[in-house]
Chain A
C-alpha cells in the first residue's frame, strides 16, 4: 500500500447517524444475550475523508448461541446486496460500508469477520478502485443495561494488512517488522454520533427524564454480564490452548526432523570426504535434503493471533467491568461507613 493512502486513512473519521446509533441499541437489546450482525450502509466523502453511516439492517437468521458471531453465507450476502439495491432504488446514494456486530466487547475478533472484511476490501479495491477501509461497528448491549454506552467503530489495522499482504505473512520476523501483535489486529477509527438538524430538534423535545418509571430499584447487570464474559473467556482459552497444543506438537516434530536432516547432511558430507580420499578425481554431489525429507506443516500463526486477541479482549472486559463495579462499591462503602 503506498504511503499516501495510509495518510488518507489515518485522518479518517466516521459519522454515525443518530437513527443508526439508536437502531443499533434496539437491535442489540432484542438479541441480547445473544449476538446479532448485519450490514451497514452509507457513503464516503473522499475530499473530507468522512464516512457517514446512514442505514443499518440486521441479517435474517442470527446466531444466538453458537460460538461464531458472524456469517457471510451466500444467503446473507444476497440479502445485503438486495437491501442495497432497495436503498438505491429509493434514490439513497449508499454503499456497503461493512457490518455491525452486537456482542460482548471483543467477540468480533474472529477469523470469519476478518476474512469478510478482507474480502470486501479487496473487492472494493479491484472493482471500484476504492481504498476506503471496511468498517466493523461493535456495540455491547450488556453495558447499556447499566447505562453505559459501548460503541466502537473498527477497521483492520495497517499492521495486519501489511502482514497479510506480504509474501512471508505470519512469521515471527514479519510480525515484528510490521509491529503486529494480537492486540492490534483491529484498530479504532475516530467516530462520532451526529444528529441531523431535525433529529436535534426532536431529541431536545423528548422528555427523557420522565421515562424511568416509578421504581427506584437498583439493579445492576454486572453479575449477569460477568458470568457471560467468564464463560466466553473459558471457551476462548480452550480454543487458544488447543491452538498452542498444535504448535507444541509441531515444534517437537520439527526438532526431530531437523536433527534427522542435520545427521543426514553430516553423513553425506562424510561420505563425500571418504570418497574423495579414496579417489581424489571422483565427482561428488551434495543432494538437496528437501528431496529426502518432508518437514511438518506449520500451524497458522494467524489463528494463534486471533485466538490470543479474543482471550485478551475478554480479560480486558473483566478488568474494566471490575473497576466500574469497584468504583461503585467503594462509593457505597464510604457513604454507608461500613
Chain B
C-alpha cells in the first residue's frame, strides 16, 4: 500500500507551517473521560475486517490562545476501511457533537482518538477529516490508546499518547503541485505532545473505590453496606497509618539515620505552624463544646421529625368517602 503519510515521531522536528498561536502544547484529560476512552476499546464489536480500530471524536475546551486543551467527552464515530478507501460517517459525527453541545455549551471538537497506536495511512486520512472539518481553524489533537505490547502482543495497561500534526510536503497551492497534478491528501507529520490526567475531588473519591476494586479478583466494588460511618472509620484508620509512617520517618530523619527530604520538612513546617500560645484553650474548648451540642441537637430534632412523621402516617387514615358512609 502506498502510504500518503509520513511518520516522523520526533519531537524536535521543525514544524514548518504550524502557526505557533493555535498549536496545542499541553493536553489534559479528565480521569472520567480517560476511563470512557479505555472502555471504547471494548466497544469495537464489529467482526468484519472493515475496521482495524475504533475511532471517535474528542470534545473539550481550548484555552484562549489554543495552547491548552482539556478533553472532557468522547464518542465513537463509525467508519469503514476498505482497500485504500476510508468512509467516515460525517453526519453521525456532526449530529452527535450537537447532542453533546446541547448538554454542555462550552464543548468544542478538539480532535479525535483511535484505539490503534500505529500511525499509518488511515491515520492521515482521519486527521485530514478533522483538520479540514470541525476542528478548523485549529489543529486537531490525535489521541491514541495502546493496549497490546508491541512485541509480545500481550494485553498491557493502556498507554495514552497525544499528537499534533503539521502538514508535510509542498504547500497545496504551489506551482509544482499543480504542474505535476499531485494529489495531496492526509500527509502529516505527527509530533507527540505531553498529556496529563487530572482528577477532581469528587473523581478522586470514586477512584479510591475503583482502586480498591482493582485489587480484587472480581474487579468490582459492592455498593451494599456502603455506610457513611463505616467509610469514615476506614478513612480514619488510613490517616492514623499515614501519621504513624510520617512519625517514624521524621524520627529516623531527626536521629540522622536517613536523610530527610527537604520538601517534606517544608510541607510540615508550613502546615503545622499553629502557635499554641495564640490559641486560648478555654475558648477553643467552649467553641468545640458548642459545636458538639449543635450537632447533637440537630440529630435529636431530625429524629423528632421522623417520629412525628410516623405518627402522622398512622393517624392519617385514607379511606374512600363511600366507605365512610357505609360505616
CB of A316 within 8 A of chain B?
yes
Least Cβ–Cβ distance between B68 and chain A, in angstroms: 19
**Cβ of A295: which chain B residues have Cβ within 8 Å of it?**
321-322, 324-325
Could you tell me if B205 and A15 are in contact, using CB atoms closer than 8 angstroms? Answer: no
Partner of B316, one of A204, A244, A254: A244
Are the C-beta atoms of A148 and B228 separated by less than 8 Å? yes
Q: Which residue numbers of A lie inside 8 Å of B, CB to CB?
A: 15-19, 21-26, 28-29, 32, 38, 54, 57-60, 79, 82-83, 86, 89-93, 141, 143-145, 147-153, 168, 170-173, 175, 181-182, 188, 190-206, 208, 211-212, 214-217, 226, 230, 233, 237, 240, 244, 247, 254, 257-258, 261-262, 289, 295-296, 298, 301, 304, 308, 311-312, 315-316, 318-329, 331-333, 338
> How many Å lie between the Cα of A173 and that of B271 in the bound state?
63
Please state if A214 and B39 are interface contacts (CB–CB under 8 Å).
no
Would you call A204 and B321 a contact (CB within 8 A)?
no
Q: Cβ of A206: which chain B residues have Cβ within 8 Å of it?
A: 31, 197, 207, 211
Q: Among the interface residues A38, A171, A199, A211, which one has the most CB atoms of the partner chain B within 10 A?
A: A199
Beyond A89-B92, A247-B316, A324-B232, whether A194 also contacts B32 by CB under 8 A is: no
Question: In whole angstroms, how far apart are the Cα atoms of A266 and B299 in the complex?
Answer: 54
| List of A residues within 8 angstroms of B89 by Cβ | 89
Q: How far is the CA of A173 from the CA of B158 in the complex (A)?
A: 59
Known A19-B39, A22-B203, A216-B267; judge A194-B157 contact (CB<8 A): no
Q: Please give me the residue from chain A that is nearest to B224 by CB atom.
A: A190
Partner of B75, one of A86, A190, A198, A312: A86
Q: Are A86 and B221 in touch, CB under 8 angstroms?
A: no
Q: Which of A38, A144, A212, A331 has the most CB of B within 10 A?
A: A144
Chain A residues whose C-beta falls within 8 Å of the C-beta of B197 in the assembled complex: 206
Chain A hits for B4, CB < 8 A: none
**Smallest distance from the beta carbon of B30 to chain A beta carbons, Å?**
6
Check: B118 CB closer than 8 A to any chain A CB.
no
Other-chain residue from A150, A153, A182, A319 in contact with B302 (beta carbon distance below 8 A): A319
Interface SS majority for chain A = helix
Asked whether any CB of chain A lies closer than 8 Å to the CB of B179, the reply is no
* Chain B count of residues within 8 A CB distance of the other chain: 93
Q: Are A323 and B299 in contact (CB under 8 A)?
A: yes
Distance between A247 CB and nearest chain B CB, rounded to angstroms? 6
B247 at the interface (CB under 8 A from A): no
B321 partner residues in chain A, CB cutoff 8 A: 254, 257, 295-296, 298
Of A26, A188, A211, A333, which is within 8 A of B288 by CB? A333
Q: List residues of chain B with CB within 8 A of the CB of A83.
A: 99
Does B86 sit at the interface, judged by CB under 8 A? no
Q: How far is the CA of A261 from the CA of B32 in the complex (A)?
A: 66
Q: Is B285 interfacial (CB-CB < 8 Å)? A: yes
Q: Given the complex, which residues of A lie within 8 Å of B295, measured CB to CB?
A: 322, 325-326, 329
Can you name the residue of chain A whose Cβ is closest to the Cβ of B35? A19
B319 on interface, CB distance cutoff 8 Å: yes
A168 to B89 Cα, complex, angstroms: 53
- Check A90–B271 contact: CB distance below 8 A: no
Chain B residues near A214 (CB-CB < 8 A): 267
Q: Which chain B residues border A141 with CB–CB below 8 Å?
A: 202
B254: chain A residues within 8 A (beta carbon): none
A-B contacts, 22 listed (Cβ < 8 Å): A22-B32, A58-B104, A60-B103, A89-B78, A90-B75, A148-B232, A171-B323, A193-B209, A194-B219, A195-B214, A198-B41, A199-B214, A201-B157, A203-B214, A214-B267, A257-B321, A315-B305, A315-B309, A321-B228, A322-B298, A329-B288, A338-B285
The reply to whether A202 and B223 form a contact with Cβ atoms under 8 Å apart is no
Contact A144 B318 (CB under 8 A): no
Considering only CB atoms, which chain B residue lies closest to A28 in the complex?
B202
Select one of A23, A92, A244, A319 contacting B312, CB under 8 A.
Answer: A244
User: Chain A nearest CB: distance from B190 CB in Å?
Assistant: 23
Check B219 against A200 for contact (C-beta < 8 Å): yes
- Residue contact B228 to A324, C-beta cutoff 8 Å: yes
User: How far, in angstroms, from A104 to B143 measured CA to CA in the complex?
Assistant: 36
- Does B14 sit at the interface, judged by CB under 8 A? no
Interface residues of B in 185-244 (CB under 8 A from A): 197, 199-211, 213-215, 219-224, 226, 228-229, 231-233, 235-236
Shortest CB–CB separation between residue A74 and chain B, in angstroms? Answer: 14
Q: From residue B105, how far is it (CB to closest CB) to chain A in Å?
A: 9
When distances are taken between beta carbons in the complex, the residues of chain A under 8 Å from B312 are 244, 308
Assess whether A149 is in contact with B206, with CB atoms less than 8 Å apart: yes
User: Within the assembled complex, what's the spacing in Å between the Cα atoms of A28 and B202?
Assistant: 8
Contacting pair B95 A86 (CB below 8 A): yes
User: Within 8 Å of chain A (Cβ to Cβ): is B251?
Assistant: no
Give Cα distance in the complex from A211 to B208, angstroms.
Answer: 12
Given A147-B205, A191-B223, verify A326-B299 contact (CB < 8 Å). Answer: yes
